[in-house]
Structure 1
Amino acid sequence: MKTIKDVARMAEVSVATVSRVINESGYVNVDTRKRVEAAIKEINYTPNEVARSLYKRKSKLIGLLLPDITNPFFPQLARGVEDRMQEHGYRLIFGNSDENEVKELDYIRTFVQNNIIGVISSTNYPESDIYQKLKIPIVFLDRTSDDNPSVYADVREGGRIAAREIVDRGSKRITILQGPAHIKPAQDRYLGAIEVLDELGITYNVIQTSSFSYTDAEQWAKEIFDKYIDTDGVIASNDIIATAVLREAYRLGKAVPEDVQIIGFDDIPLSSLLSPSLSTIRQPAYDMGREAAGLLIKLIEQDKVDEKIIQLPVSFVERETTRRKN
């Protein structure tokens, strides 16, 4: 890795002169500046952003905190954030909290130590003192908060759409996978689904799950058909769980969608590659990430912010785990 000393040696100047050029501090004559800039370009030198921000007391670093990077939904969020930030010259420091409040606090402290100037967080604890005490702009992503800017999808409507679609396609004995109790979006999509089923007078069963992970998905898929063997429609808490349900249905010799219909949630890339491909509720994850980044940039740069709460629409993606409407 090239250092500032390598730049100084090539440009035949002092390290202090290179530092003044990089940090735009102090006088450097035009010819010397050109030599330094040419040397930087030739050896592809990249200044240490943290050290540079500490020197200038002005950072371009943003902290991004996600709850579970193994869930394909969250890398889509992260990509949207990163692309928008890079367009405006910002860089990310990333943390994966594993939905653990202690680990989350540790990452926030690490962000602060690295002189970040803003945070985007997909936290399950938006009202925590961790965030109340921060003196920098915060945007919650895929989460809601009464007191802070937030970007999220209308997941409650997503639950309603899933319930309507599965009923319209003929399911009468429906099982809902509720999703983790501590994750508000999971509960919102569950509440949306039961609102519609109650309105329509459809009997349904509920299985409470404690995570969205691959590791636990298989046991809940088995529980559906052990407890409710005549289930003919499943509304899953996310696409990962829906994939496990699809696999279990085939293990039991059930035809999908003829014997049992399945609707997921999120529309992760895997959903379209399954056989049969998964019908699901699409959250615009990449767009959500871009919106959150754009909102944070406005807050940092103190631009006018018309909306601090941004809700994006969801939609039903019809594939092969649901029947065609009559």
Structure 2
Amino acid sequence: MVTIREVAKRAGVSVATVSRVLNKKGYVSPKTREKVEQSIHDLKYKPNDVARSLFKGKSKMIALLVPDIMNPFFPELARSVEDICNSYGYTFVLCNTDHSIEKELAYLNALQQKSVDGLIIVSSTLTGEHTKEINVPIISLDRTFDTNLSNVKSNNRQGARLAAEHLKVIDCKVIAHITGPENASNTEERKQGYLDVVKDEEWFSTDYIVSGDYNMQKAKDAIKKLLLEHPEIDGLFVGNDVMGAGALKAIEELEMQVPHDISIIGFDGISLGETTTPTLTTVAQPIYKMGSRAAELLIEQINDPDIPKKTVEFPVELIERQSTRKRR
């Protein structure tokens, strides 16, 4: 492997001069810079990233922490973050936390030791107390866990309203809601949107709200129990598409038919919803745009730590598929 000393020797300059050219710091005459750059080209010299990170205090590394890599929403989100990171010359690191505060804190500690330049975090368990000592920029994505951080998300409450209103339009008489994890900000926002539409209905009861924890199996079990106890339910707004797939399985096992007996709407708009039988009506988030904007915001803050924090909220749209009855 070619060393910086060999580059300096070939160019007839000091190692310090080569370092100034590489790091674009300090004055180097145009003629000398040209000689150094030609030597780098001729020798095919590749700077040592570890050494450069120690010198500059930068690693050109960005990490994304997600709670459940098995949920297809997060790989789709990660792809957009990775694309933007790569386009700006950053190495991308994906960390799966399994909804565990212990794993999240362990990752935060390890990533700081590796001089990560910035973090994008999806979390239901972290708080501002956990991140106040982190000395690199952080963007919260999809869920808000610290109001002092820049945040990128979709309009969860409006999306939930769209779902509940659509179920009413197609003449569902009793509409239940399957929620996500208790501490997730988007769980509460989606529940509030549902309540905006149904709380004043004569039939409404909080018994129609149960948790599926954004998990397919937990949602399936919860929905089977709910429908056995409340057979009058003929509409389900399910807090994400993974739970929507669980809902379809639960109803199949109960020997009911979708959408003849019950209509289902999910949330996220992941590709999974196009592969289920029947296909899943959903409130679609612009997943790629959300991840891309989070990465762009983070890089802006890495380059200028003094820029104001901001919240970016994307609109959502209802996509009708086979799991809901047709409008009359």
Common topology (TM > 0.5): yes
Task: Report what 2:271 is aligned to.
Answer: 269
Task: Report what 1:74 is aligned to.
Answer: 74
Deviation digits for residues 145-173 of structure 1, max 9, x if unmatched?
32111111110111111110111111112
Task: Report what 2:172 is aligned to.
Answer: 171
Given residue 62 of structure 1, which amino acid in structure 2 is its aligned partner?
Answer: I
The alpha carbon displacement at 1:127 in A equals: 2.7
Using the alignment, how far apart are the partners of 2:99 and 2:324 within structure 1?
32
SS at match of 1:172: coil
Deviation digits for residues 180-205 of structure 1, max 9, x if unmatched?
21111112101210221124444354
Task: Report what 1:117 is aligned to.
Answer: 117
Task: Output aligned runs, 1:153-164, within 5 Å.
Answer: 153-164=154-165
Using the alignment, how far apart are the partners of 1:274 and 1:90 within structure 2?
36
Given residue 289 of structure 2, which amino acid in structure 1 is its aligned partner?
Answer: D
1:37 equivalent in alignment to 2:41: yes
The alpha carbon displacement at 1:215 in A equals: 4.0
- Note closer, same or farther for the CA distance 1:112–1:324 as it changes in structure 2 (3 Å cut): same
The alpha carbon displacement at 1:214 in A equals: 3.2
1:287 equivalent in alignment to 2:289: yes
Range with bigger deviation, 20-29 or 274-283: 20-29
Would you say the 8 A contact 1:50–1:115 is kept in 2?
A: no
1:241 equivalent in alignment to 2:243: yes
Would you say the 8 A contact 1:249–1:256 is kept in 2?
A: yes
Using the alignment, how far apart are the partners of 1:48 and 1:249 within structure 2?
57
1:148 equivalent in alignment to 2:152: no
Task: Report what 2:218 is aligned to.
Answer: 216
Deviation digits for residues 35-80 of structure 1, max 9, x if unmatched?
5434538xxx6x5534431233233212211111111111122122
Using the alignment, how far apart are the partners of 2:166 and 2:320 within structure 1?
9
SS at match of 2:198: helix
TM-score (norm 1): 0.86
Using the alignment, how far apart are the partners of 2:6 and 2:302 within structure 1?
34
* Number of aligned residues: 318
The alpha carbon displacement at 1:257 in A equals: 0.8
Using the alignment, how far apart are the partners of 1:211 and 1:39 within structure 2?
56
TM-score (norm 2): 0.85
Deviation digits for residues 109-163 of structure 1, max 9, x if unmatched?
1111111122111122453322111122111111223211111111011111111
SS at match of 1:208: strand
Using the alignment, how far apart are the partners of 1:166 and 1:278 within structure 2?
13
Given residue 188 of structure 2, which amino acid in structure 1 is its aligned partner?
Answer: Q
Using the alignment, how far apart are the partners of 1:153 and 1:227 within structure 2?
33
Percent of paired sites with the same residue? 32
Using the alignment, how far apart are the partners of 2:10 and 2:216 within structure 1?
57
Range with bigger deviation, 157-166 or 32-41: 32-41
Would you say the 8 A contact 2:122–2:141 is kept in 1?
A: yes
Using the alignment, how far apart are the partners of 2:240 and 2:318 within structure 1?
13
Would you say the 8 A contact 2:178–2:219 is kept in 1?
A: no
Using the alignment, how far apart are the partners of 1:183 and 1:230 within structure 2?
29
Using the alignment, how far apart are the partners of 1:40 and 1:213 within structure 2?
50
Task: Output aligned runs, 1:35-114, within 5 Å.
Answer: 35-40=39-44, 49-114=49-114
Given residue 302 of structure 1, which amino acid in structure 2 is its aligned partner?
Answer: D
The alpha carbon displacement at 1:290 in A equals: 0.9
Using the alignment, how far apart are the partners of 1:246 and 1:120 within structure 2?
33
Task: Output aligned runs, 1:3-22, within 5 Å.
Answer: 3-4=1-2, 20=19
SS at match of 2:116: coil
Using the alignment, how far apart are the partners of 1:56 and 1:303 within structure 2?
16
Task: Report what 1:225 is aligned to.
Answer: 227
Task: Report what 1:195 is aligned to.
Answer: 196
**Unpaired stretches in structure 1, ≥5 consecutive residues:** none
Range with bigger deviation, 209-218 or 143-152: 209-218
Would you say the 8 A contact 1:299–1:305 is kept in 2?
A: yes
Using the alignment, how far apart are the partners of 2:128 and 2:308 within structure 1?
26
Range with bigger deviation, 195-204 or 68-77: 195-204
